[in-house]
Structures are given as structure tokens and as C-alpha cells.
Structure 1
């Protein structure tokens, strides 16, 4: 049986660049939303003339589309992800730009008929509205309020839920920017962590779960969680996901 220290060292050693979660196979699971974001993305992209993917990560999700629009652009703020995205999306001839999550978008007004984003850190709704053509749509899968809060609370103690991630707030922000919300769905999805290496890698990769996480700072809590998993089986948490689609008139 592998020791706590062995598992922690393994979780620390896995690279965190990009949004490829294949390393977790056999070590952690997450239920997928019923709406199938990748399927919706492929359908919308096949019909678009000009599309933009915001905060694309390493471009892994966008790269799954079978048909790309004639004009395709993407933004990413983190330099290691940017290099991966440029390589991953080169097959589409995509224009991949480095853009801070809170910054203005470096594209003309009324330029895209489709803007998409999967798990954006922040949405500049005013900029989404500006770059969309009249009749264009924004499609996004958002991380909802209290996502994975069970793991956050184990590491940090009980934490307040950020209301800015609620569906009502998202709808209000979209409407304030001049968009009409035409689809809104929300689901809580079961997650299981089968060993502490998976927990460590997840917390290093999904950095907003425990802000400022390091193994040294949380070693005692990790050790207690390791003991729990060894005695009782997988640690269960729930991710919160929201699908929102809005159009510009």
C-alpha cells in the first residue's frame, strides 16, 4: 500500500498546465451535466461564421469540435496554457490571443456571431455584448455557487458561498449588458476522490477551490482526509454547473 507521503508527492509532481483531466482516470470521477456542453459547442460551431472562445485553457475542449467556422479566435490569460492552446488549435488556423480575464477584448465590435466559454473565471458581459453581432449568441457552462464546497470546507473550515456565482446574478448581469437569456439550466454533480494524490492535484489545478493552496500549508488536513479515504472509501463532493445561453438583439 502506498504511503501518504508517496501519494502527496505524486499529486505534487503532475503538471497543471491545460485543462486535460485524463490523469484522474481511476483516481477521481465527476458526473457530467446532462446537457453535454461539448455536443452543444460542436453544434453551434458548425453553424457559425465567426466564433470566439473565451478563456480557452489549453484549447482542449474547443479542439473537439468536428467542424470549425471560417473565422475562429480564442483568448487565454495564463502563458503556459497559451502555448498549449496555440499548438492545439493550430489545426483550425485559430487566432489565439493572450488576454487578461478582466480586460477589454482585442476584437472589433459586432465581429462574432458566436461567443463561447467553459468555466470562465470572470465574464465581461459588456464586452461579450460589444463583440457579438446582432442576432449572435453567447453560450457558456459556468461553475456555480458552492461548487466542491465539501472539499473547500474540509481544507479551510466552513466557508461562505459566493452569491455572485448564482444563476440569478448571471441572468441579471447578462440582461444589464443588453443580452436576452434564452436558456438557463443548473445541476449538482457527484464527484469522488479515491486517493489523496487526486485531491492534491485537483487543488493545485483548480486553484479557486482552496485559494493559495500548498501541500505544506495544508499537510495536517490532507493527512486527516487521507486517513478518512483509507478507512471509509472515496471522499464525495459536488460540483455545481450552470448552462447559460444569451442572444444580442
Structure 2
């Protein structure tokens, strides 16, 4: 395929939801060893109510609910992007789930204080720790898998050039956020996982789907660097970078 054909293919793929099946054969990403979905499923079986923040298309929560020994009586989720809201509503309906469309990832959570035994989120844009602590019931659990600082740094610096690096302070910042909202930290675990792109279309689709990687991404702005990246893949067989994933588990006293 030509450069223009690969670009066109990457631009044509819908970005709704968090289904990454399109990348099969085009890109791979290792998963952290702790297994977020399994952990979430275990926690779900122990509570009567759950809130999933930034649920995307609801796929992750739905999978975890399918693994739970029992489904909580109250299943709620928030999402800020309308196309994902429709997907999530459909995915969670079989579990009695109700999705709230919010104004943005940092908008106040539209729930009463102490409403949920579990507040969960996988890969939130910006997790609202204070709001999550507010809606947690006494004894409730917070379970979040964050996209850690510097995730896929090799990719975004290939395109954007060197960026400010606060990676070393990141875990201390997470600890401080949890403590500042009055939660007790139970588990904080960090992992770097290998990501490999085998063609340019996969990179373009990824950057459109995971917007925070290169926030101002467009083919027009980064055309020269995309050509260089395509040459790198042709020479080396792939482009390798590393995602950073951080598991945060905390509890309200």
C-alpha cells in the first residue's frame, strides 16, 4: 500500500467505544499481569452497587459483570462522548445498567454522596478522585487502572519531539491524590507493557482513538513525521513503544 492508502485506511475506521479488535494483525499490546477485568469482576461480586467512570462503550464493565459471581442491584456508568453513550447503554442494558451522559471527563458525578460500594474505571481521561471519594459509601472500594505518565512516550516523541518528563514523580502524585481525598490506599502497582505497530494505518487509527497520546494530532500537521515513521516500520518491521498502566485500589473508611 502507498502512504496515502495507509493514511486513508487509518482515517476510515470508526473510533467509537473501546473495542480494539480492528488492530488484530496490525498492532499488539501486552496486558498488565494483575488482570483488571478479573479483579473488577471479583470486586463486583462483593457489592450491591457500582459506578463505572468514563465507561467508553461499556465493554469493559460488561465483561467484568459477566465474570462476577453476582451482579450488583445498582449498575451505573458515566460517559462524556455521545456515540460511546449509545454503545454503553446497549452493552450494559442486560445487567440493568444505566449510563449518564456527562459534560466532560472532569464534570461532577451526578450522584448522591455515599451511593456506591464500588467505583471503578479503566483508562479514564482524567479520573476525578475527589468526586469518586464523595460518591463512595463507607467501606466502599475504588478500583482504577490509569494510563500512567509517559505511556507510549517513544511514539509521541517520535512525532512531537522531546517532551517534559515528570514520569518519576507520577506514583507519588497518585499517592497524594488518594490521600488528599481521604481514602486509604490498598494497592498501587505499575507496569510497562510492550506495544508494537506493524503498519502506519494502525498508528493513525490509534492516535485518533487514544486522543491524549498526541493531543493535536492531524495528518496534515504530522505528515512528514508519519512518512518517517512509515520508513521506520519498513526498515525494522514494526514500531515499538511501551504503554504504562497503573492499578490504584483504595478504600473509604
TM bin (shorter chain): over 0.9
Of stretches 174-183 and 121-130 in structure 1, the one that deviates more from structure 2 is 121-130
Aligned counterparts of 1:10 and 1:103: Cα–Cα separation in 2: 34
- Name the CA shift for 1:26/1:185 in 2 (closer, same or farther; >3 Å): same
| Matching of residue 168 in structure 1 with residue 167 in structure 2 | no
Q: Counterpart in 1 of 2:163?
A: 159
* Superposition RMSD in Å: 1.3
Does residue 1:194 correspond to 2:193, yes or no? no
State the match for 1:42 in structure 2: 41
Alignment length, in residue pairs?
A: 248
CA shift for structure 1 position 162: 4.7
In the other structure, the counterpart of 2:212 is: 208
Offset at 1:163? 5.3
TM-score (norm 1): 0.97
1:78-126 CA distance string (max 9 Å, x none): 1111111111111111110012211211111111110001011112222
What is residue 84 of structure 1 aligned with on the other side? 87
Does structure 2 conserve the Cα–Cα contact (< 8 Å) formed by 1:134 and 1:248? yes
CA contact (8 A) 1:57 1:81 kept: yes
Greater alpha carbon shift after TM alignment, 45-54 vs 121-130: 121-130
**TM-score with structure 2 length normalisation?**
0.95
Is residue 183 of structure 2 the alignment partner of residue 146 of structure 1? Answer: no
Q: CA deviation at 1:167?
A: 1.5
Matched, 1:226 2:225: no
Residues 162, 82 of structure 1: CA spacing in aligned structure 2 closer, same or farther, 3 A cutoff?
farther
- Superposition deviation, residue 161 in structure 1: 2.7
Structure 2 partner of 1:134: 138
Structure 2 counterpart of 1:57: 56
1:187–1:164 CA distance, 2 compared to 1 (3 A) = closer
Q: Identify the residue that residue 14 of structure 1 maps to in structure 2.
A: 13
Is structure 2 residue 94 aligned with structure 1 residue 95? no
- Which ranges of structure 1 fall in alignment gaps of 5 or more residues? none
- SS for the counterpart of 2:155 is helix
Q: Which portions of structure 1, spanning 4 or more consecutive aligned residues, are displaced by more than 2 angstroms? A: 161-165
**How far apart in 1 are the matches of 2:232 and 2:131?**
46
Give yes or no for the alignment of 1:119 onto 2:141.
no
1:177-230: CA deviations, max 9, x gaps?
A: 000001010010010000000000001111111111111111111011101111
| Native 8 Å contact 1:55 1:117 kept in 2 | yes
Q: 1:71 aligns with which of 74, 83, 93?
A: 74
CA contact (8 A) 1:49 1:113 kept: yes
Unaligned runs of 5+ in 2: none
